[in-house]
Structure formats: C-alpha cells, structure tokens
Amino acid sequence: MKLIGPFKQVVTLANLPLRGKLSDEQLEIIVDGGILINENTIQKIGNFETLKSENQNIEIEYVEDEQIVLPAFVDSHTHICFGGNRANDFAMRNAGKTYLEIAESGGGIWSSVQHTRSASEEDLLKTLLERIDFLISLGITTIEVKSGYGLDVENELKMLRMIKKAQEQTKATLVPTCLSAHLKPRDFSGSNEDYLNYILTEILPKVKEENLAKRVDIFIEKSAFQPEESKVFLRKTKDLGFEITVHADQFTPGSSRIAVEVGAKSADHLEATIDEDIEFLAQSETVATALPGASLGLGEKFTPARKLLDAGAIVAIASDWNPGSAPMGNLITQASILATFEKLTTAEVLAGMTFRSAFGLGLEDRGQLKSGLKADFVTYKTNNFQNVLYNQGSLKADSVYIDGAKI
Ligand code: NIG
Ligand code: FE
C-alpha cells in the first residue's frame, strides 16, 4: 500500500450519474486529500492526514507544491496510427475548398491511405508511439486507436498489428478499433456492398484470429457508406461478436439513429444531428461523443452537446485526432473550447473526458477516483481545479500516474 498526497483538491468525479446534465455543485472535492493505492488500484480517497494515521508504516509519496488531482482522461476516439500529413488539405480548406471537394479531388482520407500503405512498419509504430506519449503528457492514459487508413487486408492488418505492438511498449491502455469501413478504397473494383462483404469475409476473421480488435467502426455519410448497407454490415459484425461504434451525422443527419438501432456502444461526431434524433440517442445506452477537434479543424459547427445533455444522453468528448479533420490532438484545449461554445459545466466536461467516455469503450474500471478503480490520475500545479479548463490546455499536467505509478 502507498499513500500519495497531500493534494490541495482531489476532484473525484465519484457518485456522478452516467447520463444527463451536471451542475458543478455536484462535484465532490476533497480538500487536503490523499489517494491510498493498493497495487494498481485505488484503495481509498480521503483526507491525507486521516489516511496517514489510519495506515501507519506504509510508503508515503509526498507531493511537492500545491497540486490538484483529477482522474486521468480517456480519449475514446482517435485515428493516431497514420503515415504522412495533410497540411495541404488544411491550407486548401482555409482557402475555400470544402472537405468533400478535397476528398473528391484525391486528397482527404484517400491520400492518408496512400501514405499509410507506403509507410514502413517501423515508421508507423514510431509515430504512433510519439502521439501516444503526447497524449499521456496531457494526462490521457486510455486511448482508442482506429485502423482505417489501410483499407485492404494487408494494410488494415499492418495498422492493427502496429497498434498491438505499441500496446506492448506503452503503459497507457490502447483500445484498438477496426475502421476498414472508413471509405471504399479507390483501387477496389466493386460496389460499396462488395467492399463491406470483403471486410466481413476477408478482414474481420483475421482480426479475430489475431485478436487485433474487438470493436468495429463505420463512416456513414453520403461520401462514404450509405445507411441501409451500413445497417446490414453492422448487424453482421455484431453476429461475428464485435462491439460497434459509428461515425454518425457528421455532415448529414440520420446515421445516429442507425447506431442506436444496432446497439452501438457510441455514436461519434453528431454535428448534424436533428432534434428528434437527439431524443432518440438520449433514450439509449449509446454514448453520444462530441469531437470538437473536428469542428475546429474543419470550421464546422460543434456537436450539440448542451441539447444532448439536457435531453439526458450519455455525452463523451474525444479528440478525433487524425491527419485530416482534426490535426491538433489536444483534447483538453478542444474540450475547453467546446465548453465555451456549448455552455457546458466543468463537471459535464470532466465527466465527458473520463468515466462517460470510458463507458463508451466498455471500460467501467476507470475514470473516477474511488475505491476499486484503476489508479490512473493526473496532477496539476495549481490550487484550483477550475484552472485546468480555464487555461484552455496551456496549464500543463505536472504528473501522470498509471496503475498507481508516476510515469
Ligand atoms: O472522424 N469522418 C471521417 N473520418 C475522420 C476523418 C479522417 C480523415 O479525414 O482522415 C473523422 O473526422
Ligand atoms: Fe473519426
């Protein structure tokens, strides 16, 4: 056992509901608190001095200066395994071309596919690990990572194998997701339906065999896969035993409804979701994930997080870090900005980046500071936790702990 502290404030996020709006008065803040660790889990949270006197003769890790501590963050939607860069797309969009126009002219996702296919395994792994380290430095210790820039058996497996290799080299938890249904690749001769069947028969069985991912994602959009074919595909992936997540309602509405109907763990994007579908999401267990990084990258509107929370949805916030629509990768900055535009409370933002996003990944062992949960947390040199969002990402994390150990 080990006691860490004293912290000026321990913001536990414990006892907050999984869904719906939150007020900041609901936050549990323990002043002069400590965290008692047993191996890799939290044994107890409480007043530091009390914990110290209750547990004589245990190791004490004293915290220097005034610090506050939060549960570590969970980024439940990223595409950080990729080759190349799309700075030119960014410049073209800012000069007036749309995301879809750039995609149609050979830029967009397809250009990242070409760079990812031609990248060596070493380079792909190296840049992936660099991005993971950047996220860890922000206090993010659980990271979902999608394939989706390979788009054939060889290259989708290459990506997923590199994600698996990266997991062997990082203490962060990686959650791999197979996004072979990102786009029908230009060199596939056949219809969308043929390509989706190719994923079902050629890619997913191998993903299963090598235990490379337990989740499947699809981009349902006019420029990618259509609602009906996607629904059939998702039902079949479910029959194969995969969990589902969906890129839904990014530019056109309708697909979040499909995500709910097929029982997806999450429906992500939702910038274009209509009021009726907000209600539908709110009645479901499907997590509604806002991706403010994509709104900032594309200059599009934000996910209606306020309306979703008011309707009672489970709202997560993730970075969508990818080379095209969301190149920034700083979830803390993005979530702070979303809060300003959508009028979200600090509690709603923190919940959206911790236990609510963890729920969407099927990980209910983290995201709050309470006994029995994974001892992942992040500390900041400040005496007020509100400074984390107030500084919009420029207040750097001081220490990041994974399984109770500082990394
Ligand atoms: O989540 N919308 C589709 N997929 C990604 C973008 C990927 C890319 O542009 O490379 C997204 O925004
Ligand atoms: Fe995405």
Residue keyed to tokens 């547990």: 55
CA of residue 332 to ligand 2 center, whole Å: 17
**Average of per-residue pLDDT across 54-69:** 96
Answer whether residue 106 shows pLDDT above 90: no
Instruction: Indicate if ipTM > 0.85.
Output: yes
Q: How close is the Cα of 247 to the center of ligand 1, in Å?
A: 9
Say yes or no: 307 and 375 in one domain. no
Closest to 349 measured CA to CA, from 324, 375, 331: 331
Indicate if 97 and 129 belong to the same structural domain: yes
Look at residue 99 and tell me whether its pLDDT is greater than 80. no
Q: Tell how far the Cα of 324 is from the centroid of ligand 1, in angstroms.
A: 6
pLDDT at residue 396, rounded to an integer: 98
Count how many residues are written for the chain: 407
The token duo for 139 is: 């206090």
Q: Does residue 39 carry a pLDDT above 80?
A: yes
Q: Which domain holds residue 376?
A: 2-72+367-406
| 20 and 90 assigned to the same domain | no
Q: How far is the CA of 325 from the centre of ligand 1 (A)?
A: 6
Rounded Cα gap, residues 359 and 254, in angstroms: 23
The CATH number given to whatever domain includes residue 274 is: 3.20.20.140
pLDDT 10s digits, 207-254: 999 999 999 999 999 989 999 999 999 999 999 999 999 999 999 999
For ligand 1, whether the C-beta of 250 sits within 6 Å is yes
- In this structure, the answer to whether residues 49 and 162 fall within a common structural domain is no
Query: pLDDT band at residue 103, thresholds of 50, 70 and 90?
Result: confident
DSSP 70: E
pLDDT tier at 390, thresholds 50, 70, 90: very high
Q: Is the CB of 294 under 6 A from ligand 1?
A: yes
Domain check: are 356 and 374 in the same one? no
Identify the residue whose C-alpha is closest to ligand 1 atom 8: 324
Query: What's the 320 CA to ligand 2 centre distance in angstroms?
Result: 5
Q: Is 320 in the pocket of ligand 1 (CB under 6 A)?
A: yes
pLDDT at residue 27 in the model = 98
Residue 196 and residue 306 in one domain = yes
Same domain membership, residue 165 and residue 100:
yes
Residues 94 and 46 in one domain: no
CA distances from 331 to 93, 125, 316 (A): 22, 22, 12
Q: Which residue do the tokens 């990402």 mark?
A: 393
Please indicate whether residue 93, judged by its CB atom, sits closer than 6 Å to ligand 1.
no
Mean pLDDT of 159-178: 98
Task: Count CB neighbours of 229 within 10 A.
Answer: 18
Token duo for residue 14: 């414990």
Residue 372's CATH number: 2.30.40.10
Which residue, by CA, sits nearest to atom 6 of ligand 1? Answer: 325
Angle at 143 between CA 271 and CA 184, to 5 degrees: 55
**Residue finishing a domain among 341, 360, 379:** 360
If asked whether residues 230 and 310 sit together in one domain, one would say yes
Q: Looking at the structure, tell me whether residues 92 and 27 fall in a common domain.
A: no
* Tokens, residue 228: 């009906």
**Per-residue DSSP letter, 201:** I
What is the CA(274)–ligand 1 centre distance, in A? Answer: 21
Show the tokens assigned to 48: 């530091």
249 close to ligand 1 (CB < 6 Angstrom): no
The helix (run of H) or strand (run of E) holding residue 349 is helix 346-352
Our answer on whether the CB atom of 147 is closer than 6 Å to any ligand 1 atom is no
Per-residue pLDDT band at 52 (split at 50, 70, 90): very high
Looking at the structure, tell me whether residues 89 and 161 fall in a common domain.
Answer: yes
Write down the pTM of the prediction. Answer: 0.98
331: region left, alpha or beta (phi > 0 left; psi from -120 to 50 alpha): alpha
> Are 296 and 390 in a shared domain?
no
Residue 250: nearest ligand to its CA? 1
Task: Look over the chain and give the mean of its residue pLDDT values, rounded to a whole number.
Answer: 97
Say which ligand is closest to the CA of 148: 1
- Split into its structural domains, the chain has a count of 2
Determine whether the shortest distance from the Cβ of 109 to ligand 1 is under 6 A. yes
